[in-house]
């Protein structure tokens, strides 16, 4: 669900990118295709819209996402200011045979908002970041380009509203919500995408459509779970807003090194014991040996010892704990890991956490077995050479996430109890992109995943190993079904109807035919 505490740093301003000598290209334009740049240049620049090409000084900075591993080279980066400009740009790309890669917050784990290969048109939605609350219906209209921390802050200021999204402050609302969106109130309110009641989308032919349960219902199904980059550009979301008690509790329990496997077993038993849906937690098992459980409980502090009893009976008392009763926004601020104490600091949408990293995930519908814990212990025994951090985060799923049918939205993974996310990081936080990857780090996470996959298959008696599409991962076997399960064929059919020329494509996009 989130990352280790993030050292505050400022992204370097003068960056030089070294591109691959002959970058792989996603498309070869047909010989008679219209060239894209003159077409883009002809779009009126009203509202401060901006077009950058690789020779522009500002291009390398604009290309940067949260993961410095990626230096795919788009043909251009277009930052539109209106839906009409988006339509025109998409038409330019379609006519030129160029793939379109929308970007909201730039946190794709495989660099897909750069296109995932060179040669795409990146459309940066940072100017679509408005939030308009309608208190009479407890809904808001939100732009895809806003990041999570400023969104939470604005909703809170507008009437103490809560939106169940992720924890990382700089993740984009657009990418998060189109693929799922799991955070510290997930078991109470479900996924971010479960809050969506209507969207506006620009599709491959440049038309602008409303998408809801009654208008374009097929797209309403597909965009909620498989919406990241495959069907069009979502330019606005109408979402339901939630409210919580005036005081909630955020808590952190940690244990001395050496207790990780035992705490993990206790966590599994506790998670399987059907704890209140008012609590959502994650366990962070770090390769340094430390283990910590962090959580939010939408109730008073006095309930925590009873709530955690099944766990502490097995794990033993934590060596350290930090339990705080506060307003909801203070708890959300705590889980941004910025170390700030004033919620108004959440307004600053500047990404401060870019790094080199790779993530992977598996979802579990049963308690985490001793054998799985042994696989974790083996790989977490030490950090791979060259890594700055290597860890596994186990989120407690279930609750309201599982209250929706697996075929009601494109998000097929509705029956899980736990999600295990593997993460490895390398390079310091201010290092510029374009450095060589840490081969030992990439090898570590791949082997870790494949050992968990083998254990899962043996235990569950199936080849299919489910995973979370927002931790999108090229190492995952049969990602098509791992992410989308039985919804796959329907998603492909909807893609074929909506975008038959496959304008919206990247290495793990939904294809036009099976």
Ligand X SMILES: *[C@@H]1O[C@H](CO)[C@@H](O)[C@H](O)[C@H]1NC(C)=O
Chain residues binding ligand FAD by CB under 6 A are 1-3, 65-66, 101-109, 112-113, 125, 144, 166-168, 171-172, 174-176, 178-183, 227-229, 233-234, 353, 470
405 binds, among ligand FAD, ligand X, none (CB under 5 to 8 A by kind): ligand X
Report the residue number, 268 or 487, with the smaller CB distance to ligand X. Answer: 487
Q: Beta partners for 325?
A: 249
Strand order in the sheet with 208-212: 131-134, 139-142, 233-240, 196-202, 208-212
354 binds, among ligand X, ligand FAD, none (CB under 5 to 8 A by kind): none
Integer-rounded Cα Rg, in Å, for the chain is 22
502 torsion bin: left (phi>0), alpha (psi -120 to 50), beta (else): left
281 binds, among ligand X, ligand FAD, none (CB under 5 to 8 A by kind): none
Q: Nearest approach, Cβ of 511 to ligand FAD (angstroms)?
A: 15
234 binds, among ligand X, ligand FAD, none (CB under 5 to 8 A by kind): ligand FAD
CB neighbours of 401 closer than 8 A, spacing ≥ 6?
Answer: 182, 186, 187, 190, 191, 194, 414, 416
- If one counts every other C-beta atom within 10 angstroms of the C-beta of residue 120, the result is 29
Report the residue number, 412 or 432, with the smaller CB distance to ligand X. Answer: 412
Q: Nearest approach, Cβ of 212 to ligand X (angstroms)?
A: 16
Whole-angstrom Cα distance, residue 189 to residue 162? 10
For position 415 contacting ligand X by CB under 6 A, the verdict is: no
Q: Give the CB-nearest residue to ligand FAD.
A: 175
Report the residue number, 246 or 405, with the smaller CB distance to ligand X. Answer: 405
106 binds, among ligand X, ligand FAD, none (CB under 5 to 8 A by kind): ligand FAD
Cα separation values, 423 from 147, 150, 468, 514, Å: 21, 25, 14, 31
Tell me how many residues contact ligand X (CB under 6 A).
Answer: 2
48 torsion bin: left (phi>0), alpha (psi -120 to 50), beta (else): left
Residue 24: closest CA among 165, 142, 118: 118
Report the residue number, 314 or 408, with the smaller CB distance to ligand X. Answer: 408
318 binds, among ligand X, ligand FAD, none (CB under 5 to 8 A by kind): none
Q: Nearest approach, Cβ of 147 to ligand FAD (angstroms)?
A: 8
- If one counts every other C-beta atom within 10 angstroms of the C-beta of residue 135, the result is 11
Whole-angstrom Cα distance, residue 267 to residue 359? 22
3-state secondary structure of 59: helix
For position 514 contacting ligand X by CB under 6 A, the verdict is: no
164 binds, among ligand X, ligand FAD, none (CB under 5 to 8 A by kind): none
Place of tokens 């934590």: 318
251 in Cβ contact with 322 (< 8 Å): yes
Q: Nearest approach, Cβ of 490 to ligand X (angstroms)?
A: 8
Q: Nearest approach, Cβ of 139 to ligand FAD (angstroms)?
A: 19
297 binds, among ligand X, ligand FAD, none (CB under 5 to 8 A by kind): none
176 binds, among ligand X, ligand FAD, none (CB under 5 to 8 A by kind): ligand FAD
Report the residue number, 3 or 411, with the smaller CB distance to ligand X. Answer: 411
Q: What is the DSSP string of 395-441?
A: EE--GGGGGS-TTTSS----S-SEEEEEEEEES-TTPPTTSPP-HHH
Report the residue number, 97 or 144, with the smaller CB distance to ligand FAD. Answer: 144
407 binds, among ligand FAD, ligand X, none (CB under 5 to 8 A by kind): ligand X
Report the residue number, 213 or 385, with the smaller CB distance to ligand X. Answer: 213
Report the residue number, 405 or 514, with the smaller CB distance to ligand X. Answer: 405
For position 407 contacting ligand X by CB under 6 A, the verdict is: yes
Binding residue (CB under 6 A) for ligand X from 31, 405, 461, 514:
405
Place of tokens 């109730």: 299
Q: Nearest approach, Cβ of 399 to ligand FAD (angstroms)?
A: 15
Tokens standing for residue 120:
């795409």
Whole-angstrom Cα distance, residue 294 to residue 197? 31
Could you list the residues that contact ligand X (CB under 6 A)?
Answer: 405, 407
């Amino acid at each position: 669900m989130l990352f280790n505490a993030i050292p505050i740093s400022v992204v370097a301003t003068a960056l030089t990118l070294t591109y691959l000598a002959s970058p792989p290209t996603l498309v070869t334009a047909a010989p008679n295709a219209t060239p894209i740049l003159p077409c883009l240049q002809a779009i009126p620049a009203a509202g401060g819209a901006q077009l950058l090409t690789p020779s522009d000084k500002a291009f390398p900075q604009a290309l940067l996402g949260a993961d410095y591993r990626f230096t795919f080279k788009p043909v251009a980066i277009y930052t539109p200011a209106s839906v009409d400009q988006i339509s025109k740009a998409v038409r330019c790309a379609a006519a030129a045979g160029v793939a379109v890669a929308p970007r909201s917050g730039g946190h794709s784990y495989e660099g897909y908002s750069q296109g995932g290969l060179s040669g795409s048109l990146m459309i940066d939605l940072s100017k679509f970041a408005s939030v308009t609350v309608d208190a009479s219906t407890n809904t808001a209209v939100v732009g895809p380009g806003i990041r999570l921390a400023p969104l939470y802050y604005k909703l809170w200021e507008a009437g103490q509203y809560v939106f169940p999204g992720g924890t990382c402050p700089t993740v984009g609302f657009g990418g998060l919500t189109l693929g799922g969106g799991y955070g510290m109130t997930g078991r109470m309110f479900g996924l971010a995408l479960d809050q969506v009641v209507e969207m506006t989308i620009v599709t491959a032919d440049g038309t602008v459509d409303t998408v809801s349960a009654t208008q374009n219902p097929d797209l309403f199904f597909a965009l909620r779970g498989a919406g990241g980059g495959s069907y069009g550009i979502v330019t606005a979301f109408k979402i339901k807003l939630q409210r919580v008690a005036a005081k909630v509790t955020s808590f952190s329990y940690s244990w001395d090194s050496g207790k990780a496997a035992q705490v993990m077993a206790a966590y599994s038993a506790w998670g399987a014991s059907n704890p209140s849906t008012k609590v959502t937690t994650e366990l962070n098992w770090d390769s340094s040996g430390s283990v910590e459980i962090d959580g939010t409980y939408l109730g008073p502090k006095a309930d925590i010892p009873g709530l955690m009893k099944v766990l502490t009976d097995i794990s033993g008392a934590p060596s350290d704990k930090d339990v705080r009763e506060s307003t909801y926004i203070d708890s959300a601020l705590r889980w941004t890991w910025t170390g700030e104490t004033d919620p108004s600091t959440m307004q600053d949408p500047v990404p401060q956490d870019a790094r080199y990293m790779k993530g992977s995930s598996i979802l579990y519908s049963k308690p985490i077995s001793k054998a799985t814990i042994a696989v974790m212990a083996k790989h977490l025994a030490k950090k791979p050479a060259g890594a700055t951090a290597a860890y596994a985060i186990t989120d407690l799923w279930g609750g309201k996430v599982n209250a929706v049918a697996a075929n009601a939205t494109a998000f097929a993974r509705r029956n899980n109890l736990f999600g295990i996310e593997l993460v490895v990081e390398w390079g310091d936080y201010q290092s510029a992109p374009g450095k060589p990857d840490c081969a030992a780090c990439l090898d570590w996470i791949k082997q870790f995943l494949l050992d968990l996959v083998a254990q899962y298959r043996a235990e569950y008696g199936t080849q299919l190993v489910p995973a979370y599409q927002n931790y999108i991962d090229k190492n995952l076997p049969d990602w098509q079904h791992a992410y989308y399960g039985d919804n796959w064929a329907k998603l492909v059919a909807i893609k074929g109807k909506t975008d038959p020329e496959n304008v919206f494509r990247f290495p793990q996009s939904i294809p036009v035919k099976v």
